[in-house]
Amino acid sequence: MVDDLDKKMEPEISEAADKAEEIIKEEASAVEEKAAEAVKETAAETAAAATAVTAAATKEAEAAAKAAKKAEEQAAKEAAKKQAQAEKDAEKARIAKEKAEAKIEKKRQKKAAEQALIDACPPQYRPVSTSKYFWLGFLSFFPCIGFIATLILSIAGRNRNVKNFEKSILAYYIIALLLVLIALIVVGICLPSGVRENIIDAIWTIIGSFKFG
């Protein structure tokens, strides 16, 4: 009876086993498909991430290259600017040097021309230096001796310029003597005799103070 029951149930068990096996196979296929899809998605994400990283690296490299190129161009501009300024300063220095040399040369030529004119002048018409005029004036205004020296140089001087200078000083002496004579006449006529004698004594005292020895 049991054997009969087993024989009756055997097809059903076999069918159930087949169905279970089919279900397991279907589930395994579904799992494999999902795993394959997951792998594909992961590969796609990895590829996208790699692409993004590559793009970012490329952008950074391009930005770095642009920055380097810009810095190089700026450095080149600065160098060109400094070079132009240096050339400009050198040109200014050259022009200033040429002007200074031209000015010195002009002064030298002027001095040489003046000296040539002086050398071409006869001795009696040659110019007199400032220092010589100074010492001539000092000698001419020296008491007593100055008048004599002025008189001699204004008459017997060899250089015309010196003679004219001494003549002008002699004119001062003559004017001074005339003023003294006029003053003496006025004093002799207008003042009382006592005052007149005191003034005359004072004048002689002053004159006596210039005597030597």
Backbone angles phi, psi at 159, to 5 degrees: -90, 130
Q: Locate the DSSP E strands across 40-177.
A: none
Could you tell me the residue ranges of all domains in the chain?
A: 128-209
Structure-token pair, residue 70: 């810009």
Contact yes or no for 140/169 (Cβ under 8 A): yes
Question: pLDDT tens across 11-33, in order?
Answer: 666 676 777 777 787 777 777 77
Q: Is residue 213 scored above 50 in pLDDT?
A: no
Contact yes or no for 132/166 (Cβ under 8 A): no
Mean pLDDT confidence for 81-92: 88
pLDDT of amino acid 171: 92
Q: Is residue 3 scored above 60 in pLDDT?
A: no
Q: Which residue has the tokens 């490329």?
A: 58
Q: Which residue has the tokens 């040429």?
A: 98
Question: pLDDT tens across 99-134, in order?
Answer: 999 999 999 988 888 888 777 778 778 888 888 889
Q: Is residue 52 scored above 60 in pLDDT?
A: yes
